[in-house]
A and B are shown apart, each in its own frame.
Chain A
Amino acid sequence: MNTSVTSTSSEPMTDFDRYAPRAAPLDMPRQVLEHDARPSLFEVLSRIFMRSA
């Protein structure tokens, strides 16, 4: 989080940290939107035969 910046004239700005929303963390799991990549026909066949071998 950026709480202070410097202007083009290198003049420091006020610290804005004190205006930040109060900390109250909450878990937010990443959602699954894509199926796992499907194995190719070659991969499927090789798995079957490797398992049988």
Chain B
Amino acid sequence: MPSYVRDGATRASRVGAICFALLCATAAAATLAQAGLNTGFDIWDGFAVALIALTTAWLAWGAGQAFLGVPSFDPLPDMDLSNAAFPPTAILVPICNENPTEVCARITAMRQSMQAANVPVDFAILSDTFDPDALIAERAALAPLFADDSASNPVFYRNRTDRHGRKAGNVEDFIRKSGGAYEYVVILDADSLMEGNTIRHLVARMEADTTLGLLQTLPNIFGAGSLFGRAMQFSASFHSPVFARGLARMQGRAGPFWGHNAIARVRALSQCCGLPELSGPAPFGGTILSHDYVEAALLVRGGWRVEMDPRITGSFEEGPDNLLAFARRDRRWCQGNLQHMRLVGAPGLHGWSRFVFVQGIMAYLVSVAWGAFLIVSLLAAATNASPDYFPNAYQLFPVFPDDKTFQIVALAFGIGVLLLLPKLAIFGEAAATGRARGFGGALRALGSVLAEILLTALIAPIMLMYQSRAVAEVFAGKDGGWPATARGEGRLTLTESWRASRWVSLFGIVVTIAVYLLVPNLIYWLLPVTLPMSIAPLLITVTSHPSNGRVFTTLQERVTPAVIAAYREHLRTGTAQQGSSHDPIVQPA
């Protein structure tokens, strides 16, 4: 067990992060309450204080996690495992209407990596593809994998007609029918890549600790080509390892499972992870969408340890290349996380597992809270009575109301610090440890951090709108289903962006006009929110365009890992052989 997963250290980290969040929330609420008292505390001020406490607590929680992750871990232990002792292991690749040429190229690249590292694992392609033409294309594209009958790394394939339980059901079907043949399964996403040495390390770690039910890696994002995609890729490479270290320090025995790029003990999965359908209709009932959180909680309930180790390298995934694809995936995650409201009180769960559910729910409710805070603040300002300079009948000198500018500026400054300080602290860590060299040196890394902060600030109001709509839709009972994740969807035209985001744009314009008419002195305060909303289609289009500048450089872009290089080579060959790439079946948002 790593040194950072100890009961005492875990408890101290959790208590520290929670206290920090509560302290910041109290300070923000007290500052805003004082500002309200200066001008007469009304009901809107009461709402605003409650909402600022909630949103600040959430920001501070994230910041606390980053601060906890700044100190580094001990180096990853070198764990070897001979092939004679190598237990039966399968790499599971669940797919559903994916681009089959890409799937084939990924598996071929990983298979090569396994062979180079002499790792004797099987591959199992678990297809849920239902479109008949896509199924034909899939089988045609995957055929070369079966022709190469490599004894050490055979590839299996099956297609389900009953797609019960979606991805979790797909994996469950494999465990039920073939799980008895394996000790471990490495669960991937269709866009995952993992290196042979990484798989060997994962299996060795599981062999060394028989209480470990699941070991999660921190996948690095690769292959982004747009400004948006590269910013996310940079953020995942530069910031995520530190946030993940903070999370790892708080995980104890109840670490996270993110659904892919993780190894699991088959016995633990079969004992604990047979997911039921929730009673009632979707979106709150039916198939559990965010199944990974639930599976982690069930493993812990069953007495197994779930661990995430951000030190493990050689684990990769792709990400959405534009904001619309990101928002579409986020809609599914939103529904899945809100569904966990039904499961917070599930019998027998570990306390931290319940807290993780609450955290996932809050991730989306906080967007609504931010929106509500802005609206309430505007209403409070708009309904403020004119100052009464002579409240007493016989009064010689006027009474001037206290100015609340100081409190408001202090509050805005504090929130700004909570937003910026974690990223600057992470930059400090990267510069001090030499990690920044992988990102083009400290100066370029700083430029990338600042550019990422600017871009995040611009897209945050747009995401606030998409997330608020998602929450409203879920509470209104609208099931978003499980749209395929768009990978490499890339560049959007202004028309496409306008169609998908005109409501955001119109909302931004209407709010700007309303504020100008009702409380004109607040117009400049609200511009950082209303301006990006008003120009949402333009921002979405511009950020979806290809970017190959020096900003947002990552280590993977500078030194391509072998498995990624092999994947690209096989994709080039496969695409050339197929004539043209098969478009993923994805509906526009």
Seen from chain A, the residues whose Cβ lies within 8 Å of a Cβ on chain B are 1-3, 5-8, 13-14, 16, 19-35
Contact = CB atoms under 8 A, between A and B. Distances in A.
Nearest to B90: A21
Chain A contact surface mostly: loop
B146 interface: yes
Interface of B: 90, 122, 124, 132-133, 135-136, 139, 143, 146, 155-161, 172, 174-182, 266, 269-276, 278-279, 294, 298, 342-343, 345-347
A10 to B, nearest CB: 11
A11 B298 CA distance: 45
Nearest to A33: B346
Contact of B270 (A8, A20, A22, A26): A26
Given A5-B135, A33-B275, A34-B342, 15 more contacts: A2-B161, A5-B132, A7-B132, A7-B133, A19-B158, A21-B156, A21-B177, A24-B179, A24-B181, A27-B270, A28-B172, A33-B276, A33-B278, A33-B346, A34-B346
A29 B177 contact: no
Contacts of B177: 21, 23-25
B294 A1 contact: no
Nearest to A17: B158
B179 A33 contact: no
10 contacts: A1-B159, A2-B159, A2-B160, A5-B132, A7-B132, A16-B139, A20-B156, A24-B177, A30-B274, A34-B276
B157 A28 contact: no
Nearest to B130: A2
A24 B185 CA distance: 14
A13 B178 CA distance: 25
B279 A34 contact: yes
B97 to A, nearest CB: 14
B179 A28 contact: yes
A22 B346 contact: no
Contact of A16 (B132, B159, B178, B347): B159
A5 B270 CA distance: 31
A18 to B, nearest CB: 8
B156 A8 contact: no
A23 B178 contact: yes
Contacts of B174: 21
Contacts of B345: 35
Nearest to B126: A21
A39 to B, nearest CB: 16
Contacts of B275: 30-31, 33
B200 to A, nearest CB: 22
